[in-house]
Structure 1
Amino acid sequence: MKISKYTILFDIDRTEFYIYSTLSNALIEIDEDSFQFLLNAKKNKLNIFSSEIDSELHDILILKKFIVENDLDGFLYYKSILTTQRANQSSMHLTIAPTMNCCFNCHYCFEKYKDEDYMSESVMDTIIDYLNLLPSKPELKLTWFGGEPLMALTQMEQFYNKLESNYKKPVLSDIITTGYHIDENTIRVMQNIEVKQVQITLDGLKNTHNKIKYTSDCEDVFNKVLNNVELLLNTSNIHVVFRINLTKNNSHEYIELYNYLINRFKHFKNKGIAPGFVMARGECETLNEDHTLLFAPNEVSDFVLGLYHKYQVHTPFLRYPSRFFIECAIKNVMSISFDPQGYAYKCWEIIGNKKYAIGRLDKRGRLENVNQTTLNRHLYGADPLEDPSCSACKYLPVCNGGCPIQRIENVFEGKKNNCCTFYKGKIEDFLKIHIKLKEQGIENRED
């Protein structure tokens, strides 16, 4: 037996000693002698014999895959997990864009294909037929997307009623929105269609946000959105997550905006705040943004670690790595997104761009004119399991190769997206914070 390449050893002030596996996602504290023994074995690539270490610890090290016969077995174990997930037909992530229309024209938005179409009842019916034609009856996680989905309240309610009556209710329903259109009627509809979570995008403090999101009939979109959120929190149990879009132009505003939101909404528990980093990736070529102002993965790490160390501010990025131990749904055979015209896509980032549609529903709910090339690329192309660099990387089980669309752009479109995880080279720092928070009685793990 030998130390797995997925095993990470670290100490805290040379008084506490830990071993972590990205493969099993296990973290345990061990004594100093065992730590030094394992550290030496890893450094010098030595075999480990049961007689050399405490028998109980030896059994745990095997069980949690800290030590293995060879690293290929570890990789194959990880591969078996992803292969099983990809083939799982018991659940489906269904994304519905009832319209691609939006009242804003944010410069960073990847949705360059906006139109004023709204989903017709006939398209809704074909989506329901599509679901009913599936060989299994998967549970649904439903995401409302756009455009701005709240500009299509009637269509949202119509589709949900059809879904509930002719298929079954989703087990979870969320929406991604600017928050601009939230009012009493919107809240009523969201409650009727059982939306559990709303993600609302902010672009910085008031002046910054209003330079990016503005309309001819509203001088202060920022405060309008926050007033809408206050109404939502006061009149419903819907959980609100503020996603703060960050480039290096506005990242300095994050802590002030965070504190402002915490103070303004301090009486509400059903809220969350998280940075949303605009990453240095392929589409930045079309953004009205200096490439050097976008974030690389290591800069994301430095930013979120700095928030904690300087201000004791927690972000979802600090949570125990288990939340990332699931591959993007694009690789799952069941995951699918539909635009208002019934075109189907494997990823919501490209919804509305017919170039990347994998087909379109016919009147019977069947995909016609299937673009097999695009479908194959999304399901099987740019696979991290077949990438020599990724398959050799110790971070792969908590990274899963990064965003599949970015990987596909690299392989098939010659782009140079950095797909590595923000954990790379910094995972010990994140684990140390997890340990400290746990000692303080703060739970930051999602299983």
Structure 2
Amino acid sequence: MTARRSGLRSSRYNFCVPLGEGDSVLYNAGSGASIRLAGTDVAEIVKLLCGPPRNVATRTIPAALLASLRRGGFLVEQTLDEVAAIRERYWVARGRTPMVLTLTTTQDCNLGCYYCYEERSRAALGAADIPAILDWTRERLAASGKDSLHVDWYGGEPLLNIAFIELASIALQSLCNELNVSYSASVISNGTCWPDDVSGFIRRHRIRQAQISFDGLKANHDKRRRYRRGRAPEPGTSSFEQAVALVDRLLEVVHVDLRFNSDRGNSDDLEPLVAFCRERGWFDRPFPCVFQLARISDYSARSGFMSQAKLSEDEFERLRERARHLVPNENNLDETTTRSIYPLPRTSVCAALADDSIVVGADGHRYRCGLQVGEKNRPVAFTRKDGPMLPGPDAPWWDAFDPTRQPNCSRCSFLPVCWGGCPKKHLEGDTASLHEQSLYWRKALPQKIAWQFGVVMEESTFTFSECDQFR
């Protein structure tokens, strides 16, 4: 028994979060376990278990506590390669993550948002593209054994090509019925060109979630999300008023993510926009809206000019903090803003990394990430009029990407709950954005842990250090 105990070491994923008044929480990112600690021995236990992994002599640890520490993964066998264990978990998740088919109905848009990172064109999917989409979907469902398919209608403004949605949706639903596979859909839209029968459209296409974007209240929104020349239904039409009228109707039948695209020029609209949502009852409808705080950023080389206008990570975190105080319920906040979602280890990956997910561009090419649609050198498969598709130059990178083998991620103690963040940033070597992701977890992780123990922790109270992160 003694020999077995001497073969233990502290986990590289242990963290301590002080709650105040002598209490602390011991948290392990690898297992998601947490233990509340109190008493005179807390500092000694924290010193023993947190920081770089070290061998631990367990003879002086009470038996009950020792059992809890082992069960929660705070103490592990000296022979255990924790990074390899996370790696195995990651690759299993790539295969098990639900299947998402993102269809870029068109690259066209009726609005001219100044920060748009997409290349506008009249490229659009049509009836002739549906057979290839069905063939790919059938093959992947059969090969993977997945029992569900989720379709994300994407653009441009996807509702500008509603004829394709009507055809492809019915065809995909029929395929799922044939294969006894469940079907659901979502849509990302600017909210200006929906059909009159909103509820019928939602039910017919089995849409379970819609994202509608706002750039603040009417003055800011209409200035930033203006109609392109000749595209307004009538002179003087307000894109803000159209989106508001749509959200009023959507919240009766479907979940809506109300996305506030913020930058240094409109962040002061946060308070009045939340107040506007409350006045219209959007947080209290049959399907209460979720307020999704987003930061306008330089998502691609085409939007590099946004680097001067985007909020810094610190500025955006302060905006998040304001949102937490303004929105009436944590359930009405998106998961990156709320504190109430407990930080469990990841068990799924983003659709860009999932083995059985793909993005079909309006050009017919296949992409892994929706943010790359339309970038001429980024498809992972190119369509041809005759013959099979040709692989793109990035295809091997996406197939092989593994955060546990990245130089910084492999030594990062947030790895089990983050899995390297956005893979697109790794592909592009965007070290600034990856650094911002690190800063987010240093601030957000202690807040999320403390919340579970009834403590509301502000950013200024406690954050993890770079030494806490990299071990």
Q: TM-score w.r.t. structure 2 length?
A: 0.82
Q: Which residue, 1, 18, 21 being the options, matches 1:11?
A: 18
The letter for the 2-side match of 1:12 is L
- How do residues 260-279 of structure 1 correspond to structure 2 at under 5 angstroms? 260-266=276-282, 267-270=284-287, 271-279=289-297
Aligned to 1:147: 156
Cα 1:329–1:370, aligned 2, differ >3 Å: closer, same or farther?
same
Q: Find out whether 1:204 has 2:223 as its counterpart.
A: no
Equivalenced residue count is 426
Where 1:331 maps in the other structure, the secondary structure is: coil
Deviation at 1:33, TM superposition (A): 4.2
The letter for the 2-side match of 1:320 is Y
Q: Distance in 2 between matches of 1:70 and 1:299?
A: 42
Q: Which residue, 417, 436, 444 being the options, matches 1:398?
A: 417
Q: Distance in 2 between matches of 1:132 and 1:363?
A: 21
The letter for the 1-side match of 2:259 is R
Cα 1:393–1:124, aligned 2, differ >3 Å: closer, same or farther?
same
The letter for the 2-side match of 1:255 is E
Aligned to 2:450: 432
Q: Distance in 1 between matches of 2:301 and 2:379?
A: 22
Deviates more, 1:207-216 or 1:424-433: 424-433
Deviation at 1:86, TM superposition (A): 1.9
Is there any run of 5+ residues in structure 2 with no aligned partner, and where?
1-7, 457-471
Q: Distance in 2 between matches of 1:277 and 1:122?
A: 37
Aligned to 2:144: 136
Q: Which residue, 239, 247, 251 being the options, matches 1:221?
A: 239
Cα 1:25–1:44, aligned 2, differ >3 Å: closer, same or farther?
closer
Q: Find out whether 1:354 has 2:376 as its counterpart.
A: yes
Q: Find out whether 1:68 has 2:86 as its counterpart.
A: no
Cα 1:105–1:309, aligned 2, differ >3 Å: closer, same or farther?
closer
Q: Distance in 1 between matches of 2:45 and 2:351?
A: 37
Q: Which residue, 390, 404, 426 being the options, matches 1:385?
A: 404
Deviates more, 1:217-226 or 1:101-110: 217-226
Cα 1:367–1:6, aligned 2, differ >3 Å: closer, same or farther?
farther
Contact 1:127 1:342 (C-alpha < 8 Å) held by counterparts: no
Aligned to 1:26: 33
Deviation at 1:12, TM superposition (A): 1.3
Q: Find out whether 1:119 has 2:105 as its counterpart.
A: no
- How do residues 148-187 of structure 1 correspond to structure 2 at under 5 angstroms? 148-168=157-177, 170-187=182-199
Deviation at 1:282, TM superposition (A): 5.9
Deviates more, 1:317-326 or 1:123-132: 317-326
Deviation at 1:159, TM superposition (A): 0.6
Q: Distance in 2 between matches of 1:241 and 1:310?
A: 16
Q: Distance in 2 between matches of 1:74 and 1:173?
A: 37
- How do residues 198-347 of structure 1 correspond to structure 2 at under 5 angstroms? 198-215=210-227, 216=232, 217=234, 218-234=236-252, 236=253, 238-266=254-282, 267-270=284-287, 271-279=289-297, 281=298, 283=300, 286-289=303-306, 291-308=307-324, 314=330, 315=333, 316=335, 317-318=337-338, 319-322=341-344, 326-347=348-369
Q: Distance in 1 between matches of 2:323 and 2:165?
A: 38
Cα 1:83–1:376, aligned 2, differ >3 Å: closer, same or farther?
same
The letter for the 1-side match of 2:28 is S
Q: Distance in 1 between matches of 2:51 and 2:134?
A: 59
Q: Distance in 2 between matches of 1:172 and 1:368?
A: 27
Cα 1:360–1:426, aligned 2, differ >3 Å: closer, same or farther?
closer
Cα 1:367–1:177, aligned 2, differ >3 Å: closer, same or farther?
farther
Q: Distance in 1 between matches of 2:259 and 2:216?
A: 10
Q: Distance in 2 between matches of 1:437 and 1:110?
A: 40
Contact 1:107 1:287 (C-alpha < 8 Å) held by counterparts: no
Deviation at 1:179, TM superposition (A): 1.1
Q: Find out whether 1:96 has 2:103 as its counterpart.
A: yes
Q: Distance in 2 between matches of 1:396 and 1:59?
A: 25
Deviation string 1:131-152 (CA, Å, 9 cap, x unpaired) is 2233234321211101111112
The letter for the 2-side match of 1:133 is E
Aligned to 1:370: 391
Deviation at 1:325, TM superposition (A): 5.4
The letter for the 2-side match of 1:368 is M
Where 2:454 maps in the other structure, the secondary structure is: helix
Aligned to 1:56: 64
Aligned to 1:444: none
CA RMSD in angstroms, aligned pairs only: 2.8
Q: Distance in 1 between matches of 2:28 and 2:65?
A: 15
Cα 1:44–1:261, aligned 2, differ >3 Å: closer, same or farther?
closer
Contact 1:145 1:175 (C-alpha < 8 Å) held by counterparts: yes
Contact 1:360 1:369 (C-alpha < 8 Å) held by counterparts: yes
Contact 1:126 1:361 (C-alpha < 8 Å) held by counterparts: no
Deviation at 1:67, TM superposition (A): 1.8
Cα 1:8–1:415, aligned 2, differ >3 Å: closer, same or farther?
closer
Deviation string 1:137-175 (CA, Å, 9 cap, x unpaired) is 432121110111111222112111111223445543111
Where 1:200 maps in the other structure, the secondary structure is: strand
Aligned to 2:441: 423
- Give 1 or 2: higher helix fraction: 1
Contact 1:175 1:195 (C-alpha < 8 Å) held by counterparts: yes
Deviation string 1:360-388 (CA, Å, 9 cap, x unpaired) is 45689x851111x211122324x422122
Deviates more, 1:180-189 or 1:393-402: 180-189
Deviation at 1:186, TM superposition (A): 4.2
Q: Distance in 2 between matches of 1:426 and 1:130?
A: 39
Contact 1:282 1:406 (C-alpha < 8 Å) held by counterparts: no
Deviation at 1:284, TM superposition (A): 6.6
Q: Distance in 1 between matches of 2:360 and 2:444?
A: 38
Contact 1:301 1:423 (C-alpha < 8 Å) held by counterparts: no
Deviation at 1:10, TM superposition (A): 1.9
Contact 1:86 1:331 (C-alpha < 8 Å) held by counterparts: yes
Contact 2:19 2:455 (C-alpha < 8 Å) held by counterparts: no
Contact 1:183 1:228 (C-alpha < 8 Å) held by counterparts: no
Aligned to 1:442: none
Cα 1:398–1:27, aligned 2, differ >3 Å: closer, same or farther?
same
Q: TM-score w.r.t. structure 1 length?
A: 0.86
Aligned to 1:445: none
